[in-house]
Structure 1
Amino acid sequence: MTSIKNLKKDNMQRISFFLLLFVNFSHLHASEHLKVKILRKLENDKVVNYTVNKLIIQGNSTKTEFSKDTLFINSYGSASFRKNTEDSVWGYDFVATDSLIHPYFKLPQKTTKVYKNGKLLTAMVSPKQNRYIEKGIRELKPEELELTAKGQLTDCIAILKDPKTVQLTDTLLNKSVCYHFKTIHNGLTNSLYIAKKTLFPVMLRITTNTFQPFIEEYSYSHFNYSTVLNYSELSKSSRQTTPVKAVVKENDILPDWELSDLQGNNYSLNNSEKYKIIYLSMIHCGPCQEAIPYIEKMYDEYNKTDSIEFVVFYPVDDKESLIRYVQRKNIKPNLVYNSSAKQEKRIEIFGYLNIGYPTFLIVDKENRVRHIISGFSKNIELRVKKTVSKFWN
């Protein structure tokens, strides 16, 4: 009798297992069928036109709120693209514009990107500088094009084609019931929302889980089809290039900028006859935040010497933001910042030091840059020490 009961129990477990397997297979099959259906809307012989609004959220947050130092950057633009089976580099033709207000200097900036016939054209127009760059097929790699078109429909298509992409529970977004797809690519979480009614993308959210939270949201609307790509955005005026002022390099003599510390004291590079290690940082920089304990240690160590001054310089951020940042992060070194009241001067300094952060400038007594160390790693103290020993022993 017991064996009959056990047999029935085993049979029920087998039936449950196969039912669950069947349900999962059916769901997977339905999900794959849906992806194919959406891809047919996005990849055909027509040009797909749409508008895209981009929101970058960069800073510190909890599960319920963002801190006052969180940076929000909004940009607005339009794009057109079509599948091009004859293109051997990327497989698409592409036009996109992007307009924003610079988050620090409050200046308008418009960027236009065009990819066609194996050539990438990029034009940036702002009141202070125009840039125009062309790259031919021999210089281009698919990864570079993917980065150029980040957040555009090509990313949505890549997510739908990714075998690791899973379909989650439907959700309501911007008053639209949406399919929700999710995948992880290069360590980044990608969440794609597709309107059930139109099968066009509504939003793509890319989350970077690093030391500092970083979220990019791309919202799409106004989809329509046409037969030709419109390249008129790349007008003659956008092809004009303003001479670009050089960024800092080795053997440059640093100017005596108008700098201050957070206590209101003026600071001049010419006031000290010591060798200098100038550490360049900014608030909205994950590696810079990760480097804080290492910088504090080096600041104390070198400023105890008679021959070397360690300077912590924030060229981009304003005084009020830095005061909040120092309090929240409990930063001990005395910081100096770009305190010029003239916007043009602030832009000039930032442009000259726009070499990526964090960066260390190794400077001699004549304020000549002897060496530049870029980036952060956990052996940064050793890298700086070896460089200093090389020049000043």
Structure 2
Amino acid sequence: MNLTIKTLIKISICTVFALLYNINVNAQATLVQKTIDKIKSYKNLSYQHLSKVKESFTNDTLTRQSKNFILKAPDDKTLGYLYRTETLNKAGNSVSTEFYNGKNLIRINQADSTYLIDEINGKAVMGLLTDLNWIKDFAVKQSSKMVIANDTIINAITCSHLIINYRDTIINNEHLYTRFHLFIDKVSDMPVYLIRNVRSADIGNAVTNYYSKDSYFDYKFDQNDISVADWVIPNGFHEKIDEPEIPLLPVGSIAPDFVLDGVDGKKITLSKLRGKVVLLDYFFVGCYPCMLSLKPLNSIHEKYKNQNVAIVSLTERDNEKVVAEFRKNYNIKYPIYVNGRDAVKSYHVRGFPTFYFIDKEGKIANVFVGYGDDFEEKVTSVIDKLLK
């Protein structure tokens, strides 16, 4: 079969694009694989990790510093490593420790000399290695969403710069994205920064901006004083026994009265709402399932605002300023109250969000914990029955 000139040109162009694609994939995956291989080459390593997280929910920056240890463990069939992290206070002293010993995740609290044991896969706690393996796999599967940018100098360190565009779309004229920036020291091949930028409209009634920056530094390799003996529960520590969980208030019982402070300076009590169906929404700013409930709660508020229904959203963690900004940013129509500690305690609330329904006579009519896709349907069904 004879091939025309045009056919040969098309084949050549396709071949070139295929080669360029493979080079692109290999370059991105190789960059991260080189770091993974470097870590695997050591018997052990330690490093410091400084995490800074800023959310648009509160505009606060949460900082956490830890010292981490990785020990090669060929006999561990799950991961091949043991992992330990020590959370540090501002003075640099360890206040708690958790480690994966090949079987369980052990959490140690120095303050009360107690420990907890969780049955958990080690991959869930291998922060640095888990992130690197995820990025490498993403580079292989979706290389078109990754770019190797120009080298960047950070604190006098020349770094390779990998940009991962995990999500990039426009919805309702809003530019939404999830973008990662990984910076790797070109000399040591160790990560320096992992930055996450997220702009999302998936929760609440507004666009949410999320920013986190993980800094990795003070690397030490193949230290002689690190061994399996460091992955044991210290002498004198005892297992922490959780107190029995107090059940939620039973249906039919009298709802305890409470006093809550509104962001407008006005107080509210349950007794003043007698004769209305009351929906108590226990939440706190930044709680993910709580955030998912914002839009349906707004809708429910609009539906029943001219009827004998009151939504009382309350928080024990957030102050007036945070709540006022939160309501404005997320266009929340229903009231939110603060200083809810006593109400949390008297209603035996342990998980968030928790929703109590109180009938017109002041009795508990229903209660459920958490958020589901059928949330609005469930809530309106309960309220409609209570109104009748």
Instruction: Answer yes or no: same fold by TM over 0.5.
Output: yes
Any idea what the Cα deviations from partners look like across 1:205-257, whole Å, max 9, x if unmatched?
A: 34554433333332111111225257379645775648658466242876544
Distance 1:158 1:93, change over 3 A: farther
- Choose 214-223 or 279-288, whichever is displaced more: 279-288
Q: Is 1:267 the counterpart of 2:247 in the alignment?
A: no
**For residues 172 and 294 of structure 1, do their structure 2 counterparts lie closer, same or farther at Cα, with a shift above 3 Å needed?**
same
One-letter code aligned to 1:219: S
Shift in alpha-carbon separation, 1:356–1:373, aligned structure 2, 3 A = closer
Q: For 2:368, which of 369, 372, 376 is the aligned residue?
A: 372
Instruction: Give the number of aligned pairs.
Output: 355
Query: 1:232-247, aligned counterparts within 5 Å?
Result: 235=234, 239=238, 241=240, 244=243, 246=245
1:342 paired residue number: none
1:317 alignment partner, SS class:
coil
Pick closer, same or farther for the CA change 1:18–1:366 going to 2, 3 Å.
closer
- Superposition CA RMSD, Å: 4.1
Give the Cα separation in 2 of the matches to 1:380 and 1:228: 50
CA contact (8 A) 2:50 2:63 kept: yes
**Which runs of no fewer than 5 residues in structure 1 stay unpaired?**
1-5, 61-68, 102-107, 340-344
Q: How does 1:246-285 map to 2 (within 5 A)?
A: 246=245, 249-251=248-250, 255-274=256-275, 275-285=277-287
Matching residue within 172, 177, 188 for 2:152: 172
2:332 alignment partner in structure 1: 331
- The corresponding residue for 1:298 is 300
Distance 1:376 1:318, change over 3 A: farther
The residue that corresponds to 2:80 in the other structure is: 91
C-alpha distance in structure 2 between counterparts of 1:14 and 1:350, whole Å: 75
**Is 1:152 paired with 2:153?**
no
Q: Given the alignment of the two structures, is residue 220 of structure 1 paired with residue 216 of structure 2, yes or no? A: yes
Give the alignment partner of residue 67 of structure 2, picking from 47, 64, 78: 78
Tell me the CA shift for residue 330 of structure 1: 3.6
**Residues 114 and 238, structure 2, Cα contact 8 Å, conserved in 1:** yes
Secondary structure of the corresponding residue to residue 331 of structure 1: coil
Distance 1:110 1:273, change over 3 A: farther
Partners of 2:7 and 2:219 lie apart in 1 by 54
Please give the per-residue CA displacement for 1:50-94, whole angstroms capped at 9, x wherever unaligned. 11011122216xxxxxxxx42321100011113433223333211
CA contact (8 A) 2:161 2:184 kept: yes
Residue 98 of structure 2 corresponds to residue 113 of structure 1:
yes
Q: Is the CA contact (8 Å cut-off) linking 1:247 and 1:355 kept in structure 2?
A: no
Equivalents in 2 of 1:391, 1:325: separation in Å?
30
Separation (CA, whole Å) in 1 of partners of 2:239 and 2:84: 19
Cα deviation, 1:184-203, whole Å, max 9, x if unaligned, reads 49x96554322111100112
Distance 2:82 2:189 in 1: 22
- Looking at structure 1, the residues matched to 274 and 300 of structure 2 have their Cα atoms a distance apart, in angstroms, of 19
Q: Specify the code of the residue in structure 1 equivalent to 2:62.
A: I
Match of 2:164 in 1: 182
Identity of aligned residues (%): 15
* Residue in structure 2 matched with residue 64 of structure 1 by the alignment: none
Q: CA deviation at 1:97?
A: 2.0
CA 1:110–1:350 in 2, change beyond 3 Å: closer, same or farther?
farther
Q: How does 1:353-368 map to 2 (within 5 A)?
A: 353-357=349-353, 359-364=354-359, 365-366=361-362, 368=364
Q: Which runs of 5+ in 2 are unaligned?
A: 168-176
Q: Distance in 1 between matches of 2:63 and 2:258?
A: 31
Deviation at residue 282 of structure 1 after TM alignment: 3.2
Name the counterpart of 2:117. Answer: 134
CA distance in structure 2 between the partners assigned to 1:334 and 1:43 by the alignment: 54
CA distance in 1, matches of 2:235, 2:343: 26
Shifted more, 21-30 versus 330-339: the winner is: 21-30
Matching of residues 48-63 of structure 1 within 5 Å: 48-59=45-56
| Pairing 1:194–2:184 present | yes
